[in-house]
Structure 1
Amino acid sequence: MSREFPIGLTPPDWLVRNLRTTKAPINRAAAVRASLAMTLPLVIGFAAERPAYGALASIGALNGVIGDTADAYRMRVIQLAVPQLVGAIGIILGSLVYGRGWYAVAVVTGVALLSGMISTIGAVASVSGLLLLLNAVIGAGLPLPGAWWLAPALLTGGGLLVLALALLAWPLRAGVPERVSVATTYRRVADLLAACGDPDRYPSVRFGVTQSLNQAYDLILAHRARHHGRSRELTRLLAQLNAVTPVVEAAPAVHLTGRPLPPEVPEAVRRLAHTVQTGRTGPPGVPSLPAPTTETARAVEHALRHAAAVVTAPDIDPGGVDERIGRPAALGVRAARAARNVVLSAHSWRYGLRLAVCIGCAQALVSLIPVPRSYWVALTVTFVLKPDFGSVFSRALLRALGTVAGLVIAAAVLAEVPPGWADVPVMLVLAPLIPVLTPRGYGYQTAAITPVILLLSDLLSHQGTALLLPRLLDSLMGCAIALIAGYLLWPESWHTRVGDRLADAVADTAVYVEAAFGAGIDTAARARMRRRLYRDLSSIRTEFQRALTEPPPTGRRAAAWWPLVVAVERIVDATTAARVRVRHGAPAPSAAEIHQVSQELRALSEGVRRSETLVAVRTHLTGPSDSVLESLRQEVAAARAITTPH
């Protein structure tokens, strides 16, 4: 029985989206690591009668727990070790200007600029920039015990403890995360085949396939780039990822027919997923299918048999795999390219300046107005305004709500648990909640971190429940600064963040339409083009979904443009489906048909780039009704006819 809110009490859509919980499995290994890594330093500190030292090392372990998001072990070494070393530089810079007034404001603001700029490079640089700024703020706002080198050593040691615990299983599970990632992609593709013909399920499942493919390729290629020499296992996994591409390409063609596939087809892909995950080889596991009578049926059968042959093959030609995916650039070349992009990119400067302005406001405010534990204000700004972590408005709202929830737990702990050895079992219970709740949403992560950080802060300051009110006020002040200076007054509209990217994707779709049926483009190059386009559309969809969590006018504008995002995805699917049909026997479209569609897409791209609101354009694309481009023409016409509702 459904419940309805009384008229006038219905919560707005943006609030409902913000408070919605993300479903995620519990990572038990990460929970155990967090419990051990954050508790062990406290035990050592109490045993050595230096609880403050143990608290600093535990804070470092907390940083490691938050950054422990990689799957492959080789990537973990980079993703955990590099940010810890960069964070040590931040704590040194901050401690050098502790108590220096406006010098501290200037230095921390400069660090914020650098942090925001390097965060645009990638995942490792993002976490590194975060720890650089966080530790600089802590060093500039908190008197640290011991010599100048002790605090950086303790914080870094705590983070490296998380890494050491994570690597304990490496000898036993080497290569397992990579195989699981590829096998998961096969399972997502099986779900996609099962959803063909279902207009309600297919779009969301298709989005999940794109995300899974992106993650698997990123994982395998990053591992391969750091692997010296050729790895037989990586070569096999890359070949298996490439082999599932024809199956993915055949899915839109099947979906456009409106008829579901026999259940044996997705079941065959699930069996291949099991073979990938176990690493076994053997005879192909493709079922006996009816003789294909259409281009679509031939495409499905051919793709399945090709994938089965690759998955079960005892040997893979590494030269063929390299030619298919391209060779990763050398580490030095990629580092130089990243540095050049950071210095020359307006995108990185814009994000860096945004973060620097807000951190500068926070540091200046606490310099002018005496605020207990003043560094908490800048820490809140850092977490809320981290440019690559999502909507500023959404994070500010969830940060405030999560802090209030976390303070309730912290109040009970600080009031009832005497400081000392009794903190050890409390940390054993609280620490694993961080990796358990983090995937469910930012508010849940904040609620889990707040009591932990207050417990550690009490070991440094011995203020007990007196920490609660300052923490709440500082968090609210930080959220307010981020919302005002980094959101409401920041001269960057939603259209410039998302509209231009959507226009670029539409223009790239026009190029893809031409390449899909043009001569002189090999299959591998066409597959790479299609994969890049789906990756771009996936990130645009994610950005739009973030915009939907913001209040009007941003959320309302995003909701109005959302149908166009879906329409562009359907255009790409229709292009892929037409290409599959041509490859399996359908007559190729004429050059005039292709030119007509691509010109309409380029006109749509220019319209999106110039417009703040959508304007309907009625267009009639002509061509033979039995052409493979008929569905594509209909999708393009539907996209041009979308208008902003009033």
Structure 2
Amino acid sequence: MTRGALAAGPLLLAGVGTGHTAPGVLAAIAAMLAGINDRPGSRRASVERLGVPALAGALGLLAGTYAGRDLAAVPLTLVLTLLGLVAGSISAVGAVASAAGTQLLVGAAIGAGMPAAESGWQRAFAFLAGAGWLLVLRLALPTPGSFAGDFRFDGERTAVAEVYDAVAALLDAVGGEHATARRAALTAALDHAQDALAGPRLRRYAGSATERRLHAQFAAALPLAEAATALFWSGKPVSARASEGPRRLAAAVRGNTGPGPLPAPHRSDAALRALDEALLRAADAFDRGEGAARRLVGRRPSARNALRAAIGSGGREYGWRVCLCFGAGTAIAQALHHTRWHGQHWYWLPATAAFLVKPDLGPLASRVLCRAAGTVLGALVFAGPAALLPRPAGLIALVAVCGALVPVATRHFAAQTTVVTVLVLALVMVGGEPQACVSRISETLLACALVLITGHLPMPGKRGGRVRARLAAAGRAAHAYLVHVLGEYDDRAERWALRREAYRTLAEARTAIALAAAELPALARHTAGADAVADVLERLVDTTTACAVHLDDMGRLTPRHVRQLRSSLDELGFPEGEVPLPAAAG
């Protein structure tokens, strides 16, 4: 909230104070969009999370400015429609790519429709300056209460500590009704910590002692997570003593201190022995401080994998739907451009459609309803201040307040829409235009109707491509992990990396399935049965983890391990003999 208050408002004030109101408005818009992408986490990861979408937005603004000035309505509509196809396809790559695709389209719509005397390069520079200012605030300002050691790594420290807490919570829940949810929470904590430690490097050399220590502590958590998962698979409750060690390690990470003596769990079976050994290794890594642990870098999709996602079934489905909505929005806006009720903000229609139609932002129908309700409420809220506040000082103060509220409002799409509506209407008036509440409402409602209709139209190819692509990736990762474990390889770091990839891709598939299932029946029916496939993959990966722990301890699998593996492989339809199962002990 502090960063939000110091971003859009001061930028707008600087623009108005220096006589460069239009660049100030663009900088404030960029800061607002960056604020929507600003999430808790590590500072280094925020460079990519905020910077890549900002670069895409500036590129869209540049292209839209020159296209809007040089092209007539029909060619302009075709160019923006093609841009929608590209941006939609890119959005299938991942969360950062999705945000970049959205800002690319929003920037293009603003550039083509917002009149300005500045050149495209000047407008793009103002946009980058606005987003860059928020990024500077993100990197420079400490988080309250984060002064345990080097505050620059407060996000990384919190993320690693949450992994140890999640291990302890899973151990407490083993054998109970909440065990499955706790195992999923452990996966989420590991994903978050992996991303936090894998941000772009901001220094030339190997990093500070604090950074090396955090990497060693994260590496030490991986065998603990593996042992806890094996205990979860066994289903036998463990004593409360087992979770005390991970909790003390979590407190040590948060306080940047040593863990002290750790209580050893009972060593009555293979998984408990693995847990005990993992605690001993973790204590050694904590005591060594900077330890020489192998650096485990988070997954970064290669250019080949990113291209595969963009042109695959999921990317094509994204691309065509975004292309259709964005292009239709542009065409309708151009056709109504000179009508009295439409006004001069025709770019609001395609920009709103770009925000609404993205399939990864939640169920389409609920997004439309939340957007409509939030816009109407925001316009009504703004009507009072618009008539009473002094200009421009009062409106600039209102922009600052809205900037501070954006991080809170992002928790619900309707609340976010309300705050953004007030902020945008204030920016319009600061820019010298009349109050535009009615125009904003009409544009948004038209965009909602457009997206609701086009979002449920039949599209080329088989529907549910994103879910199928995520499940296929999870299946490949599970297969690679299983082959490594049964192949009796000695590289445990590689095994842990494959395990991380298997659980991560499975979590992404679960997210895609949940989003698809929450759509209206016309869309949800295309992914029916996907949950059952994810359940089988989850059992396979859990069993593989239990097999890895048992093989480390005993060298051979039990009949239960072999039986569970064979059952999961049969349900998934793996060809006979593709994964040769070892003989069971006893």
- TM-score where L is the length of structure 2: 0.85
Q: Which residue does the alignment assign to 2:195?
A: 218
Give structure 1 stretches of 5+ with no counterpart: 1-30, 610-621, 630-646
Residue deviations 1:305-332, cap 9 Å, x none?
A: 22222223234225xx15xx47999xxx
CA distance in 1 between counterparts of 2:194 and 2:23 reads: 41
Secondary structure of 1:374's partner?
coil
Give the C-alpha shift of residue 449 in structure 1. 0.9
Structure 2 counterpart of 1:364, one-letter code: A
Q: Which residue does the alignment assign to 1:426?
A: 398
Q: Which residue does the alignment assign to 2:43?
A: 73
Q: Is the 8 A contact 2:543 2:564 kept in 1?
A: no
Q: Which residue does the alignment assign to 1:413?
A: 385
Secondary structure of 1:426's partner?
helix
CA distance in 2 between counterparts of 1:298 and 1:77 reads: 41
User: Number of matched residues?
Assistant: 567
Quick one: which of 144, 153, 164 aligns to 1:175? 153
CA distance in 2 between counterparts of 1:386 and 1:327 reads: 26
Quick one: which of 404, 413, 433 aligns to 1:442? 413
Quick one: which of 304, 311, 329 aligns to 1:362? 329
Compared with structure 1, are the counterparts of its residues 286 and 40 closer, same or farther at alpha carbon in structure 2 (3 Å cutoff)? same
Q: After superposition, where does 1:568-587 map in structure 2 within 5 Å? A: 568-585=537-554, 587=556
Compared with structure 1, are the counterparts of its residues 246 and 489 closer, same or farther at alpha carbon in structure 2 (3 Å cutoff)? same
Deviates more, 1:177-186 or 1:571-580: 571-580
Give the C-alpha shift of residue 425 in structure 1. 3.0
Q: Is the 8 A contact 1:70 1:79 kept in 2?
A: no
Secondary structure of 2:263's partner?
coil
Q: Is 1:209 the counterpart of 2:186 in the alignment?
A: yes
Deviates more, 1:346-355 or 1:532-541: 346-355
CA distance in 2 between counterparts of 1:559 and 1:230 reads: 48
Compared with structure 1, are the counterparts of its residues 274 and 559 closer, same or farther at alpha carbon in structure 2 (3 Å cutoff)? farther
Q: After superposition, where does 1:117-136 map in structure 2 within 5 Å? A: 117-136=89-108
Structure 1 counterpart of 2:402, one-letter code: L
Q: Is the 8 A contact 1:74 1:223 kept in 2?
A: yes
Q: Which residue does the alignment assign to 1:14?
A: none
Quick one: which of 126, 134, 138 aligns to 1:166? 138
Q: Which residue does the alignment assign to 1:457?
A: 428
Quick one: which of 109, 113, 116 aligns to 2:88? 116
Give the C-alpha shift of residue 154 in structure 1. 2.8
> Over aligned residue pairs, what C-alpha RMSD do you find?
3.5
Q: After superposition, where does 1:493-532 map in structure 2 within 5 Å? A: 495-499=464-468, 501-502=470-471, 505-506=474-475, 509=478, 512-520=481-489, 522-532=491-501
Secondary structure of 1:98's partner?
helix
Give the C-alpha shift of residue 377 in structure 1. 0.9
Secondary structure of 1:487's partner?
coil
CA distance in 2 between counterparts of 1:175 and 1:79 reads: 16
Q: After superposition, where does 1:132-171 map in structure 2 within 5 Å? A: 132-169=104-141
Q: Is the 8 A contact 1:507 1:602 kept in 2?
A: no
Q: Is the 8 A contact 1:513 1:598 kept in 2?
A: no
Structure 2 counterpart of 1:108, one-letter code: L
Give the C-alpha shift of residue 597 in structure 1. 5.8
Quick one: which of 161, 168, 177 aligns to 1:190? 168
Q: Is 1:404 the counterpart of 2:414 in the alignment?
A: no
Structure 1 counterpart of 2:253, one-letter code: V
Compared with structure 1, are the counterparts of its residues 483 and 93 closer, same or farther at alpha carbon in structure 2 (3 Å cutoff)? same
Secondary structure of 1:198's partner?
coil
Compared with structure 1, are the counterparts of its residues 162 and 297 closer, same or farther at alpha carbon in structure 2 (3 Å cutoff)? closer
Deviates more, 1:570-579 or 1:581-590: 581-590
CA distance in 1 between counterparts of 2:585 and 2:428 reads: 66
Q: Which residue does the alignment assign to 1:8?
A: none
Residue deviations 1:186-239, cap 9 Å, x none?
A: 11221111211212x112221111111112112213345x65332344433233
Compared with structure 1, are the counterparts of its residues 264 and 256 closer, same or farther at alpha carbon in structure 2 (3 Å cutoff)? same
Q: Which residue does the alignment assign to 1:374?
A: 346
Secondary structure of 1:293's partner?
coil
Structure 2 counterpart of 1:301, one-letter code: D
Structure 2 counterpart of 1:552, one-letter code: P
Q: Which residue does the alignment assign to 2:145?
A: none
Q: After superposition, where does 1:201-600 map in structure 2 within 5 Å? A: 201-223=178-200, 227-231=203-207, 232-281=209-258, 283=260, 285-290=261-266, 292-318=267-293, 321-322=294-295, 325=296, 337=304, 341=308, 345=312, 347-370=314-337, 371-372=342-343, 373-438=345-410, 440-464=411-435, 467-491=436-460, 495-499=464-468, 501-502=470-471, 505-506=474-475, 509=478, 512-520=481-489, 522-555=491-524, 561-585=530-554, 587-589=556-558, 594=562, 600=567
CA distance in 2 between counterparts of 1:494 and 1:342 reads: 15
Residue deviations 1:60-117, cap 9 Å, x none?
A: 2212212333733334344434443442332222222336311221222232233223
Q: Which residue does the alignment assign to 1:32?
A: 2
Q: Is 1:101 the counterpart of 2:68 in the alignment?
A: no
Q: Is the 8 A contact 1:504 1:605 kept in 2?
A: no
Secondary structure of 2:554's partner?
coil
Q: Is the 8 A contact 2:544 2:565 kept in 1?
A: no
Q: Which residue does the alignment assign to 1:638?
A: none
Secondary structure of 1:462's partner?
coil
Q: Is the 8 A contact 1:52 1:459 kept in 2?
A: no
Residue deviations 1:470-520, cap 9 Å, x none?
A: 212211222222232233333465544324643563565455445433334
Secondary structure of 1:222's partner?
coil
Structure 1 counterpart of 2:46, one-letter code: R
Q: Is the 8 A contact 1:507 1:601 kept in 2?
A: no
Compared with structure 1, are the counterparts of its residues 418 and 514 closer, same or farther at alpha carbon in structure 2 (3 Å cutoff)? same
Give the C-alpha shift of residue 589 in structure 1. 4.4
Secondary structure of 1:197's partner?
coil
Residue deviations 1:263-295, cap 9 Å, x none?
A: 232232111012123333465x311545x2333
Q: Which residue does the alignment assign to 1:17?
A: none
Residue deviations 1:531-573, cap 9 Å, x none?
A: 2111111111111221232122544676765355334323422
Compared with structure 1, are the counterparts of its residues 567 and 407 closer, same or farther at alpha carbon in structure 2 (3 Å cutoff)? farther
Give the C-alpha shift of residue 586 in structure 1. 7.6
Give the C-alpha shift of residue 412 in structure 1. 2.9
CA distance in 1 between counterparts of 2:84 and 2:498 reads: 36
Compared with structure 1, are the counterparts of its residues 40 and 213 closer, same or farther at alpha carbon in structure 2 (3 Å cutoff)? same
Residue deviations 1:7-56, cap 9 Å, x none?
A: xxxxxxxxxxxxxxxxxxxxxxxx11111211113333443455445333
CA distance in 2 between counterparts of 1:412 and 1:166 reads: 33
Compared with structure 1, are the counterparts of its residues 308 and 207 closer, same or farther at alpha carbon in structure 2 (3 Å cutoff)? same
Compared with structure 1, are the counterparts of its residues 493 and 408 closer, same or farther at alpha carbon in structure 2 (3 Å cutoff)? farther
- TM-score where L is the length of structure 1: 0.78
Percent identity reads 30
CA distance in 2 between counterparts of 1:243 and 1:130 reads: 38
Compared with structure 1, are the counterparts of its residues 501 and 450 closer, same or farther at alpha carbon in structure 2 (3 Å cutoff)? same
CA distance in 2 between counterparts of 1:447 and 1:554 reads: 27
Secondary structure of 2:431's partner?
helix
Give the C-alpha shift of residue 304 in structure 1. 2.0
Q: Which residue does the alignment assign to 1:61?
A: 31
CA distance in 1 between counterparts of 2:467 and 2:310 reads: 22
Q: Is the 8 A contact 1:95 1:136 kept in 2?
A: yes
